[in-house]
Structure 1
Amino acid sequence: MLHDPNRIYIFDTTLRDGEQVPGSQLTTPEKIIIAEALEKLGVDVIEAGFPISSPGDFQSVVELSKAIREPIICALTRANKGDIDCAAEALKFAKRPRIHTGIGSSDMHIQYKFNSTREKILERGVEAVKYAKQFVEDVEFYAEDAGRADNVFLAQMIEAVIAAGATVVNIPDTNGYCLPEQYGEKIKFLKENVKNIDQAIISVHCHNDLGLATANSIAGLHNGARQVECTINGIGERAGNTSLEEVVMILNTHKALGYHDLININTKHLYGLSGMVSRMMRMPVQPNKAIVGKNAFAHSSGIHQDGFLKHRENYEIINPEDVGIDSADIVLTARSGRAALKHHLERLGYTIEKIDLDHTYQKFLELADEKKEVKDDDLLKLMGADETNYKNGISINSIKVTTGDQEQPEAEINLHFNGEDHTATATGNGPVSATINAILTVLKKDIEIKEFNIHSIHGGSDDVSKVDMRVMFEDKSYMGYGFSTDIVRASANAYLDALNKFV
């Protein structure tokens, strides 16, 4: 027995099923970066690719096998010797290799995809497992379209492939067809009717065509499955796969289920890995995406904001720090109440006891009606502040940056600060980094950049860029905004805009 039946295994297929999204293909070095992050996250299995599909996929499996030490490295095949030979060759450097082979199990696939019979398909599946077993000890079998398969035939197939040597049996809801209770009953049927089921781990692989992938995966676990196949951000074919972060946080949040101690995921890496996958695969995360979406921990309703500020758990069942997000956002809109306005004014250094909050709130509502979202700059203007009225008014006199292919970028900056001019020089990974480091050399404070976003305003070679930046200082968050045709200057302006709110 290769696996512990009392564990729940997280099988990540971001680099295989997730990469099947049009326009989201990754290079081998990019795959290695993501795979190393998945290893750090704590996933048990990484499906590295489909080696027979292309030379690039083959090479990616080879290189991932060399780079990754702890997780099992899995390669996908169809139920034929050519695919399996190719996968075995690609996995030769893997410390813990797995071949993932299989064939269709529904009458729909058997008739219209394979033009075959149940008996012949069953024979092909068994032969594929036996052949793969010659190369690796760990063989996973997938019964494609199991969600629509006849349960009695599916049980017959699963029993036969386990007898042939399969260590994991994957029961995919390939088309996202099942309702949770249907899928749970299917897993339960296999547990109760496959004589040798205790000799393999049942795996669930659910697609999201009806928005039920996560619910179906949890239903599978309830009924005896012990491996969940999923992707970061739920990316994948058509409407995507089961979202890794959703499954993991469901298990962690509902501790009464008793599953949270059976997984080895470091959830603090979830948000950072989500952003990495989104950027590299050019797949934006929808703002309202559970767990990792921009709005997942943002509160804009006045009633919600008031309740949240009184006691976080009134409106948050997950602590944002647990998934790698510094804090929840109190977003100021026309729906916000006095509690939210008071919170942000105090964060910006205003003493509420000295402010007529009712009068200020009425002015705020007038401003909020004109804008979709009220930012720090808007509040400062509302309170009568401008760039020269910041507490100590740091301003830029000049910036000089030198960079090139053969030298580390260096920035020289002259700042007006505390009534005097200060000059400093620093290096960095890039011109923006060097400029920020030079500013910090002057200020001598521990200030961390948490978000850095660049937006183009007009387009064209003389484009004006807007930079918004969030920095952390003494456990408080401050936003800054900067504009310029030069991205370094825009970044420096944004950084100083944030600093001027607390320095």
Structure 2
Amino acid sequence: MTKQIQFFDTTLRDGEQTIGVNFNIDEKVKIAKQLEKFGVDVIEAGFPVASKGDFEAVSAVSRAVKSTRVTGLARAKKGDIDACVKATKDATHKQIHVFIATSPIHRESKLHMTREQVIQSIFDSVSYAHQFFDIVEFSPEDATRTEPDFLVQSIQTAIDAGATVINIPDTVGYTNPAEFAQLFQNLRTNIPRFDEVTFSVHCHDDLGMAVANSLASIENGATRIEGTINGIGERAGNAALEEVAAAMYVRKDYYNAESNINLSETKKTSDMISNFSNMPVPHNKAVVGDNAFSHESGIHQDGMLKNPQTYEILTPEVVGAHKTTLPLGKLSGSHAVMAKLQKMGYEVDKDTMKIIFPKFKAVADHTNIVSENDLEYIMQEVNV
């Protein structure tokens, strides 16, 4: 049976926690509308109690989007929840996201609370939130460093209090796919109503495993993935939603999962976030980087010219990117050079390439990319 995976975007909340990123309200509304086109199921529009600006932004996003659910973040505190109620009052579809830390280091060093106090706080806050929202999402912050028995107790308490979505945050990017699988297996064994609740994950990328951990969660019972566009966010960032979506698309044979994501809007969405955050996308970034569909190696270019599937498991058209490019450099082979010259209008074949290619290599050894002007010069010089 094919699983339906929800996508929860927190670019406007966790993404804005990136050092130096500060979206204004107009930008947040434009981003939210684009995220709606992209097909995300939930937009976490901000942390309403944090500031007047955040409250106004959540309110503006709530009014702007029509099909996507809007949520605000709240600590397990009545005032935070009240702020979310007011900020999302105009949303067509809404929920709330309540959290409290559950790991020993957070309980003892940050909260100065006992296990019992944390459990009471979970029950009180989720019960209170449930009075105003049909969908209450609860997150045990730093879940992957929480004792397994206490994690189960915390989650069960939230469910008993009315939570319909349980999010498992890998807050500091601590876990790995195998451990994450074990965590979910433990929850499935010990949470009686596991299949009646939406389980979500929120993975950070401190050790570079956010996307891998998110995908592992799909295999083990999660039906919602949280993350950001381009993977922006606190410290090393969050799981890049476009990478999770692309992996599900390419490996649908393995994950057997579908989503509402419109992959053709991927590049446009990525470019908007890059522009508004003033954070250039790395050239080698998966799915949306400039080099994601570029091939310079001669062996790769030869394969691409014969059959693109030799080196591309995802086409640029699927994600709304520009066409595949075969930039010419010192590693390029004669096949790619000949194809480029033919595209430029030159009548060349394998025999003439025996004269042209050495000239090409001589130029390529002294430049990063051989341009069309360089090729014109070479053709004039060889006079073929």
Please indicate the TM-score interval, normalised by the length of the shorter structure: over 0.9
Report the Cα distance in structure 2 between the residues aligned to 1:234 and 1:309, rounded to whole angstroms.
Answer: 32
Shift of the alpha carbon at 1:147?
A: 0.9
* Letter of the structure 2 residue corresponding to residue 375 of structure 1: S
2:378 aligned with 1:378, yes or no? no
2:164 aligned with 1:167, yes or no? yes
* Corresponding residue of 1:347: 343
Report the Cα distance in structure 2 between the residues aligned to 1:323 and 1:26, rounded to whole angstroms.
Answer: 25
Contact 2:199–2:221 (CA<8 Å) still a contact in 1? yes
Contact 1:233–1:245 (CA<8 Å) still a contact in 2? yes
2:245 aligned with 1:248, yes or no? yes
* Letter of the structure 2 residue corresponding to residue 346 of structure 1: Q
How many residue pairs get aligned? The number is 380
TM-score relative to the length of structure 1: 0.74
- 1:207-286 → structure 2 map (5 Å cutoff): 207-260=204-257, 262-286=258-282
Report the Cα distance in structure 1 between the residues aligned to 2:115 and 2:372, rounded to whole angstroms.
Answer: 66
Report the Cα distance in structure 1 between the residues aligned to 2:46 and 2:371, rounded to whole angstroms.
Answer: 44
Shift of the alpha carbon at 1:198?
A: 2.7
Report the Cα distance in structure 1 between the residues aligned to 2:102 and 2:183, rounded to whole angstroms.
Answer: 13
The one of 10, 13, 18 equivalent to 1:16 is 13
* Letter of the structure 2 residue corresponding to residue 138 of structure 1: I
Asked which structure has the greater RCO (Cα within 8 Å, sep 6+), the reply is 2
Report the Cα distance in structure 2 between the residues aligned to 1:9 and 1:347, rounded to whole angstroms.
Answer: 44
* Corresponding residue of 1:357: 353
Report the Cα distance in structure 2 between the residues aligned to 1:197 and 1:221, rounded to whole angstroms.
Answer: 14
The one of 313, 316, 331 equivalent to 1:317 is 313
2:73 aligned with 1:66, yes or no? no
Shift of the alpha carbon at 1:223?
A: 0.6
* Corresponding residue of 2:107: 110
Could you report, residue by residue, the CA deviation over 1:76-123 in whole angstroms, capped at 9, with x for unpaired residues? 011101111111100000011111011001111111111111110011
Could you report, residue by residue, the CA deviation over 1:322-365 in whole angstroms, capped at 9, with x for unpaired residues? 11123211011111000110121112111114982121111111
What SS class does the counterpart of residue 228 from structure 1 fall into? strand
Could you report, residue by residue, the CA deviation over 1:214-248 in whole angstroms, capped at 9, with x for unpaired residues? 11111111110100001111111000100111101
* Corresponding residue of 1:332: 328
CA spacing shift, 1:196–1:378, aligned 2, 3 Å: same
* Corresponding residue of 2:137: 140
CA spacing shift, 1:354–1:116, aligned 2, 3 Å: closer
What SS class does the counterpart of residue 90 from structure 2 fall into? coil
Report the Cα distance in structure 1 between the residues aligned to 2:331 and 2:195, rounded to whole angstroms.
Answer: 55
Structure 1 runs (4+) deviating above 4 angstroms are none
Report the Cα distance in structure 2 between the residues aligned to 1:96 and 1:285, rounded to whole angstroms.
Answer: 32
Report the Cα distance in structure 2 between the residues aligned to 1:157 and 1:311, rounded to whole angstroms.
Answer: 53
Shift of the alpha carbon at 1:188?
A: 1.6
2:128 aligned with 1:131, yes or no? yes
Report the Cα distance in structure 1 between the residues aligned to 2:117 and 2:330, rounded to whole angstroms.
Answer: 65
What SS class does the counterpart of residue 321 from structure 2 fall into? coil
Contact 1:162–1:197 (CA<8 Å) still a contact in 2? no
The one of 88, 94, 106 equivalent to 1:97 is 94
* Corresponding residue of 2:46: 49
What SS class does the counterpart of residue 356 from structure 1 fall into? helix
Shift of the alpha carbon at 1:258?
A: 4.9
* Corresponding residue of 1:306: 302
* Corresponding residue of 1:409: none
Shift of the alpha carbon at 1:378?
A: 1.8
Could you report, residue by residue, the CA deviation over 1:185-236 in whole angstroms, capped at 9, with x for unpaired residues? 1012111211222331000100000000011111111110100001111111
- Provide structure 1 residue ranges, at least 5 long, that are not aligned to the other structure: 386-503
CA spacing shift, 1:377–1:88, aligned 2, 3 Å: same
Report the Cα distance in structure 2 between the residues aligned to 1:221 and 1:368, rounded to whole angstroms.
Answer: 46
Contact 1:103–1:125 (CA<8 Å) still a contact in 2? yes
Shift of the alpha carbon at 1:274?
A: 0.7
RMSD, matched Cα? 1.4
Q: Which has the higher helix share?
A: 2
2:141 aligned with 1:152, yes or no? no
Contact 1:290–1:296 (CA<8 Å) still a contact in 2? yes
* Corresponding residue of 2:174: 177
Report the Cα distance in structure 1 between the residues aligned to 2:268 and 2:351, rounded to whole angstroms.
Answer: 39
Report the Cα distance in structure 2 between the residues aligned to 1:347 and 1:6, rounded to whole angstroms.
Answer: 45
* Letter of the structure 2 residue corresponding to residue 186 of structure 1: L
The one of 106, 111, 119 equivalent to 1:122 is 119
Q: Compare 192-201 and 99-108 and name the one that shifted more.
A: 192-201
What SS class does the counterpart of residue 77 from structure 1 fall into? strand
Q: Which has the higher strand share?
A: 1
Report the Cα distance in structure 2 between the residues aligned to 1:128 and 1:138, rounded to whole angstroms.
Answer: 14
* Letter of the structure 2 residue corresponding to residue 329 of structure 1: T
Report the Cα distance in structure 2 between the residues aligned to 1:217 and 1:54, rounded to whole angstroms.
Answer: 30
* Letter of the structure 2 residue corresponding to residue 231 of structure 1: T
Contact 2:219–2:255 (CA<8 Å) still a contact in 1? no
* Letter of the structure 1 residue corresponding to residue 328 of structure 2: L
Report the Cα distance in structure 1 between the residues aligned to 2:329 and 2:269, rounded to whole angstroms.
Answer: 30
Contact 1:15–1:31 (CA<8 Å) still a contact in 2? yes
Report the Cα distance in structure 1 between the residues aligned to 2:79 and 2:252, rounded to whole angstroms.
Answer: 45
Contact 2:98–2:138 (CA<8 Å) still a contact in 1? yes
What SS class does the counterpart of residue 352 from structure 1 fall into? coil
Could you report, residue by residue, the CA deviation over 1:432-463 in whole angstroms, capped at 9, with x for unpaired residues? xxxxxxxxxxxxxxxxxxxxxxxxxxxxxxxx
Contact 2:126–2:161 (CA<8 Å) still a contact in 1? yes
| Paired-residue identity, % | 45
* Letter of the structure 1 residue corresponding to residue 323 of structure 2: S
- 1:33-44 → structure 2 map (5 Å cutoff): 33-44=30-41
